[in-house]
Structure 1
Amino acid sequence: MMASHNKHFACWNRTSSPSSAFFMTAFTLFQSVSTVSIPDVTFHFHEENLSLGVVLVTGVTIEDSGPNFADFEERIFEEIQSKHSLSSLKNEPILRSYRDLYWSFGMDPTKLRVSSEALIRRILRGENLWNINNLVDSMNLVSAYHRIPIGLADLEKVAGNLSIRQARKGELFTRIGGKTIQCRGREIVIADEEKITCFGFATHDSDYTKITKKTETALVYLCFSGEVSTQVINESTQTTVDFLENWVPCEISNIMTLKS
């Protein structure tokens, strides 16, 4: 089942924090004029009640995040640190739902954490989020704030349509950084018609489809477990739009939410 959503705007500025900025104004509808479209996405299983939010971003300028973003990021870090501790993450409901999901696919979530939990743990240990580029950095911040795993892909390197499926036994996946994983045939993955583009839901992005300085069109995946509420889905999608508008020179061409 596929539902298409028009772009909408909320009042947000670079000195705001997400908790104070959600839904402050009425939404303005946006009609995309881009000729680029989101690939078809198919779930190859239905029992998990998963959802995938996909945001198509065109005309992207990839650059360093800069000092203004660093200041904003620090304020978000402080808010996350005020809400969570390393000991409390074990019982955090949203993160726990992803661990349960991974166990159901034969994946050990203590060794293969979803990206949102891995990011939160770095923040709670006082570490940074690597400072890769404006698109990656801003989406990492959304992921950590809302506890929702987010993946990214350069659309020009995505072959055809996408599927959320189980990996094939012996299938190889090369994560960002070059490490290759040989799949056991049970893992949940996002794949195009040729290869895995995101391992897990979502743990690792592909080295081949990663965002680089040459990226002009990108896909942002928001991976929602069956326990994530409609409110959190809407809020995290809205924050994604807001952060893209504030921190990444780009056009948001389409937003879609898909359900297994």
Structure 2
Amino acid sequence: MIVTLDESLLEIEPNFKLGIIHYTKIVVSSSPQMLKGRLQLFQEQLYFEMEEKKITEFDGIKEWRALWKKFGADPNRYRHSAEALYRRIAKQNYITPLHSAVDLNNFFSMQYEIPMGIYDSEKIQGNITISIGHEETTYEGLNGRENKLHNLLTLQDTTGAFGSPFVDSVRTAVTEDTTDTIQVVFLRPSMDIEEGQELLQSIGDMFHQIHGGYVSSTLLSSHNKEWLNV
């Protein structure tokens, strides 16, 4: 599988970067009590913090809203997934556990204030291109709707789009039967490469502790636009 960062993204935002983490031979199951507890506690702490601080004042949320505008999307209409999580928590509509992979992915997204995506690799067809969606770019999302991804950042394989920092698709959703995943860490453009690599290492280590298996990762940017993952 080859993962490629489309040049058009870098023309819009030269500092655009993201992390790709590939997990193989993992075991996805009901989340351990430790993770459930941390997820609940973090949401409760975040709720009280947001009583004193606007959602749009969190650095990561703010930076991704600005990036959305650069891509040509309305951040008030198409909220990136990290902001959507924060807005749920602000209403005390806390996220309930689903399974270990999704729960940990949500925890990372809230903790680092950035969108995160996780996909079943065996449901991805061919190579992956990360680019901006067009008027005809659509898919059935995990929000239960057919989503139009015009001017939104998307992940596409030979079949079509399957992921976005907006909402992910039903087609590549991770389940408890999943053993091979691709996790996408939508880093802040302001984060330098070394800091981004350290973050990928930290995320990969924690995911591995819960799921076992093997981990490999890379950071895509203007200096490294393609990853051949064998």
What is aligned with 1:197?
162
Q: Confirm or deny: 8 A CA contact 2:208 2:215 kept in the other structure.
A: no
User: Residue type of the partner of 1:97?
Assistant: E
Are the counterparts in 1 of residues 196 and 219 from structure 2 also a CA contact under 8 Å? no
Aligned letter for 2:175?
Answer: T
User: Which residue of the other structure, out of 40, 51, 55, is the alignment partner of 2:17?
Assistant: 51
* Separation (CA, whole Å) in 2 of partners of 1:236 and 1:121: 24
What is the correspondence of 1:41-120 to structure 2 with a 5 Å cutoff?
41-45=4-8, 46-47=10-11, 48=13, 49-81=15-47, 83-85=49-51, 87-120=53-86
Which residue of the other structure, out of 16, 40, 58, is the alignment partner of 2:3? 40
Could you report, residue by residue, the CA deviation over 1:26-72 in whole angstroms, capped at 9, with x for unpaired residues?
xxxxxxxxxxxx53323232121211101111112221114332222
Question: What are the equivalent positions in structure 2 for 1:161-176 lying under 5 Å apart?
Answer: 161-176=127-142
8 Å contact kept, 1:175–1:204: yes
* Structure with more helix by fraction: 2
Judging changes above 3 Å, is the alpha-carbon distance between structure 1 residues 230 and 115 closer, same or farther for their aligned structure 2 residues?
A: same
Q: CA deviation at 1:188?
A: 2.2
1:151 matched to 2:113? The reply is no
Q: Which amino acid aligns with 2:26?
A: V
* Residues 148-192 of structure 1: CA deviation (Å, up to 9, x unaligned): 1101110011111111112132232211143112344x3321111
What is the deviation of 1:79? 4.3
Secondary structure (helix, strand or coil) at the match of 1:90 reads: helix
- The gaps in structure 1 that reach 5 residues or longer are 1-37
**Alpha-carbon contact 1:146-1:232 (below 8 Å) kept:** no
Deviation at residue 232 of structure 1 after TM alignment = 5.4
Pair 129,209 (structure 1): closer, same or farther in 2 beyond 3 Å: same
Correspondence for 2:181 among 215, 218, 223: 218
Cα deviation for residue 231 of structure 1 reads 6.7
- What are structure 2's unaligned runs of at least 5 residues? 223-230
Q: TM-score, normalised by structure 2?
A: 0.84
| Secondary structure at the counterpart of residue 119 of structure 1 | helix
Q: Aligned-pair distance for 1:230?
A: 4.7
Q: What secondary structure is seen at the aligned counterpart in 1 of 2:186?
A: strand
- Sequence identity, in percent? 21
User: RMSD between aligned alpha carbons?
Assistant: 2.3
Secondary structure, aligned partner of 1:123: helix
- What is the SS of the residue equivalent to 2:171? coil
Instruction: Give the match's secondary structure for 1:220.
Output: strand
- Paired letter, 1:52: L
Number of residue pairs aligned between Structure 1 and Structure 2:
219
Shift of 1:141: 0.2
> What is residue 187 of structure 1 aligned with on the other side?
152
Q: Which amino acid aligns with 1:203?
A: F
